[in-house]
Chains A and B, each alone.
Chain A
C-alpha cells in the first residue's frame, strides 16, 4: 500500500473516474443544472410578483380617472318666472339646466342636434339642483352660475378615454369658405391637405378625389370662429384643393382665412368606432376653451348609492351594506368561533364527538364558498323565510364560512399559551373556567384578534355565496338596517363589471380600489396587533 501511495505522488494523479475529462464535463453540467434550477426558482417568484404588479397597476390606472368628475358651469335662470318659490317641487329643473346649455349654442337648431346637446349633461342634474336649492333658497330669484355634472360619455371624452384627439395645428395655407353654415365648400391654397387625408384613412375615388367616411379619422377645420368637418377633398386648378364639408359651428363670415389663421384638428379614432360624435366633441371643446368645464373630486361616486347612469353611480350604498354585513358576521362568528376553540382546546375530552367536530371544522374550511350560499338559500331563505338581499342573512352565511378560520386561528393561539400559566392558576385555587377565562384567554387574545381580522378580511372580499341569497339585486337606496335590502362592495363590483357602459369600467376599478384599501387596512391592523402584542414564550 505504501508503495502505491508513494508512486502516486511521483507520477501525479492517475485519471480516476472522479477526475477524468468526462468527470469534469459532468461536473460542469451539474453546476449548470444547479444554476438553471436556481434561476427557475427565481423566475417563478418573479413571475408571481409580475402578476401582482400587472394586476394592481391595471386596476389603479383604470381607477384614477373615476376619482374625478367633470362639471360644466352654466348660468341657470332661477328667477320667479321659471321657478315659483311656492311650488318648488313641481319645477322641471332638468329642463331649466338644459335650456341654459342650449342657450350657449344658439346655432344648434335641428331637433336631433338639440337632443344630442341636452344629453351632454347628466340626467341627475335636476335632482342635484333641487337639493341645492332646498339647502340654499338664496339661489332663487336670479341667474346663478351652477356647476352641472356632465354625462358619462362627455366626461370620458374630456378625460381623454373615448377618442384619440390630436392637438390643433395651424394650416399653412389660405382657406376660403363658400358659406357660413350647412354644407359648404372650402378652398385650400395648396394640396397638402390631400396627402393628409390619405394618411388618415380617406378612400381614394375617381379624379383624385378623397372621401372621408365614418371609418376614417375626422378632419375638423376651425377658423372664423366656427368649425367645419371635411367630408371629401378633390384637387382643383392651380394646385388648390376644394373640400366639401359640413359646418358644425357656424362661421362668422365667408372671409378667407390667411395662412396660419385656420387650424386643423384630427380626431384619430374614426367616428364609426367611438361612442361620441364629432359634433359633441366640438361642443365640448368649445365649452372647455370657454373655461366652463371644471374637473372636481368625484363626490358623487363616494357618497351616493347605485345608479344605472355611470356618472351618477356611487359606492356608498355598497359600503354601508358591506359594513352592516360585516357587523353581523363578526357578532356571530367571533363569539361562537372563540367559544368553540376554547372548548376544543381547553375542555374537550378525547372522544368521538370532539374528533368529529375537528374533522368537520377542517372540512368546512375547504368547502367551496358557493356551497355556503346554497346552504343560506335553502335553509335561511326558504326554510326559515328570512328576507332576501338582507345584510343579516348575508352576515350569517359569511359567519358560517368564517367560523372555521377563526376557530383554527384561535386554537393555535390558545395552544401557544404555555401550560405553566394554567398550572400556576390552578395551583392557587382557580377553577378550570376561571383559569381559562382569567388567565389563558387574555394572553391568547392578540393572536385570536389577528386570526379574526384576517377571517373578516376574507369574508369582506367574498362574493359568490351572497349572489345566492339575492344580494345581487339592484338597490338604489342606502340600507338603513340589518333587514333592508342591500348589496355589498364585491357584489357591486361584480354587477358593474357586467354593465356595458364604458363609464362603468372606471367605476368598477375605483370600487375595487376602495375594497383593496379596506383589505389593506384590516391586514395592517392584524400585522400591527401581531407585532405589538404577540408574546413569544
Chain B
C-alpha cells in the first residue's frame, strides 16, 4: 500500500517539475533570459516541495510504526501476556504480525488470531493516516511552491541549498554508523555487565556460555557468572593471529620488496594480479579451503611424525589466515617502500652498497614506521577475521599455547552465540555484544596506534 504511495509521489514530482518549468517560462512570456533561475531549476524547486516533505514523512513513518503497533498490541493484550518473558511476548507479536499479513506461523490460537485482527486494523489505520498526511503535505508544499514561482524568484538558491543539505546528510551517515555501532555495542554490553560483573568477563579463564543457566527450582534462570571469562578466547585469538602473522609478515614484506626493487616488468605484470586475486577471494572460500584441505593435511603430517594434531588445529586456521593477509601486508608495504625517495637509494648505491644492503640498511629503516603500521593493520584485520576461524578453528575454549590443539576465538564465539535460535535478552546473546565491544576496541586501538606510528616517526623528505 505504502509502495503505491511512493510511486504516486514520484509521479507527482515529475508532474510538478514539468508544471514548474512551464509556469516559470509562462511568467516571462517565453523570454527565458529574464528569469533569475533556469526554468529547470524552478521545476526542480516545485518537485522538491511537492514530493520531498511527503517522502520524509513516509520514511519517518516506516521507522516508527512497527514499534508503535507492537506496543499497542502488547498493551491491549497485557492481561494475556502477563507472566510471559520478553522473548515470548516478542514471539507472540511477531506471530500476530505474520498472521495479519497472511504469513505462516507455527501454531495459531484464538488469542493470536484476535491479536492478528487487531494488528490488521491498527495497521490499516496507520496506513490511512500516512496516506492522508503525505497527500496533505504534498498538496500544501506544491501550493506554496507554485505560488512562489515568478520571474525574480531565486529557485536556484533554494534547490542548491537543499542539495547541499542532502550532501551533508549523506556525509554524516558515516558518523551515524559509528555512533550506531558504539551505542548498540555499549548498551547491550551494559545489560550484559548487569548480569555478569565485567572483571569476571575480562579476567575469567573459563568460557562455556552454552551452559549459562544452572540450578533448578528457585535458582533456575540464574546466571552462572563464572563461565563468561574471555581470557581463553583472547588467548586463542592471539595464537591464531600470531601464526597468521608468522606466515603473512615475512612473505608479504619480501614479496613487496621483490616487486618494488627487483622484479622485471613482466614478473610484476603477473605477480601483481596474483596478489590482487588472492586479496579478492572471499573469506568463506579460504575457510572452506582451511577446513577441508589444509587441516586434514596438517593432521596427516602430524600423524606421520607421531604428533597428535587436532582436526581443528590453530595451526591450519592460522596458516590459511596468513595466506589471506599476505596481499594486505604486501600492498601496504609496497606503498611505503615506494614512498622512500629514490635519492636515498641512489646515495646508498653511490657509496658502493649492493642492492640488498641498500634495502636492508637504508630503505627498510626509512620505511620502518610505515611497515610497522602495515603490520599493525594486518594484525587488526586478522583479529577481526571471522569466516576462516568459524569454519576451521574449534568451538571449545582451551587455554593453551600449543598450535596443534584446537582453540577458539572471539569472532567464532560471537557467531556461535548469535546464530540459530536465540532469546535476545539472555546473558548468552548479550555476551556476544560484549565480545563485539572488545573486538571493536582492540581493532580501533590498533588502527589509531598504526596511524600514530606513521605520523610520529615518519621521516620528512623533500
A residues apposed to B, CB below 8 Å: 30-31, 33-34, 36-38, 40-45, 47-49, 51-52, 55, 58-59, 335-337, 339-340, 342-344, 347-348, 354, 356-357, 360-364, 366-372, 374-375, 377-379, 382-386, 400, 403-404, 407, 431-433, 457-458, 460-464, 467-468, 472, 490-491, 493-494, 497-498, 505, 508-509, 512, 515-516, 519, 523
Q: In the complex, what distance in Å separates the CA atom of A403 from the CA atom of B184?
A: 19
Given A335-B170, A369-B384, A494 and B70 touching (CB < 8 A)? no
Q: How far is the CB of A472 from chain B (nearest CB, A)?
A: 5
Q: A370-B414, A374-B414 are in contact. Are A37 and B439 (CB under 8 A)?
A: no
CB pair A379–B326 under 8 Å, yes or no, is no
Contact: A44 with B173, CB < 8 Å? no
Q: Is the CB of B418 within 8 A of A51?
A: no
Tell me which of B206-214, B272-280, B304-312 binds A. B272-280
Q: Which residues of B contact A354 (CB under 8 A)?
A: 171
Q: Hey, which bits of chain B sit against chain A, CB under 8 A?
A: 63, 66-67, 70, 156, 160, 163-164, 166-168, 170-175, 177-178, 180-181, 184-185, 187-188, 250-255, 257-259, 261-263, 267, 270-271, 274-275, 277-278, 280-289, 291-293, 323, 326-327, 330, 354-357, 359-360, 377, 380-381, 383-387, 390-391, 411, 414-415, 418-419, 424, 432-433, 436, 439-440, 443-444, 447
Chain B residues whose C-beta falls within 8 Å of the C-beta of A508 in the assembled complex = 288
Q: A378 and B277: CB pair below 8 A?
A: no
Chain B positions within 8 Å of A463 at CB level: 282-284, 386-387
The B interface is mostly helix, strand or loop, or mixed, namely helix
- Kindly identify which residue among B67, B278, B285, B433 contacts A493, using a CB–CB cutoff of 8 Å: B285
Taking the closest CB of chain A, its distance from the CB of B272, in whole angstroms, is 10
- In the complex, what distance in Å separates the CA atom of A386 from the CA atom of B391? 28
Residue of B164, B267, B277, B386 ringed by the most chain A CB atoms within 10 A: B386
The residues of A that contact B377 with a CB separation of less than 8 Å are: 366
Q: Are B63 and A45 in contact (CB under 8 A)?
A: no
When the two chains form their complex, are residues B171 and A343 in contact, meaning their CB atoms are under 8 A apart?
A: yes
- Contact across chains for B262 and A41 when beta carbons are under 8 A apart: yes
B312 CB to nearest A CB, Å: 13
Given B163, B178, B386, which contacts A364 in the complex, CB threshold below 8 Å?
B178
B418: A residues at CB distance < 8 A: 374, 377, 467-468
Q: Which residue of B lies closest to A454 (CB)?
A: B280
Contact among B70, B257, B354 for A41, CB-based, below 8 A: B257
Residue of A nearest to B436 (CB): A374
* A71, chain B: closest CB distance, angstroms: 28
A residues near B70, Cβ cutoff 8 Å:
385
**C-alpha gap A368/B434 in the complex (Å):** 15
CB contacts (< 8 Å) of A44 on chain B: these are 250-255, 258
Contacts of A385 in B (CB 8 A): 66-67, 70
B180, B181, B254, B280: the one contacting A457 at CB < 8 Å is B280
Q: Can you list 26 contacts pairing A with B, beta carbon distance less than 8 Å?
A: A33-B357, A41-B257, A44-B250, A44-B251, A44-B258, A45-B274, A47-B251, A51-B323, A55-B281, A59-B285, A336-B173, A343-B167, A366-B380, A368-B385, A369-B384, A371-B440, A375-B180, A384-B66, A384-B67, A403-B173, A460-B282, A461-B284, A462-B282, A490-B282, A490-B284, A515-B285
- A340 adjacent to B283 (CB under 8 Å): no
Contact at B292–A48, with CB atoms within 8 Å?
A: no
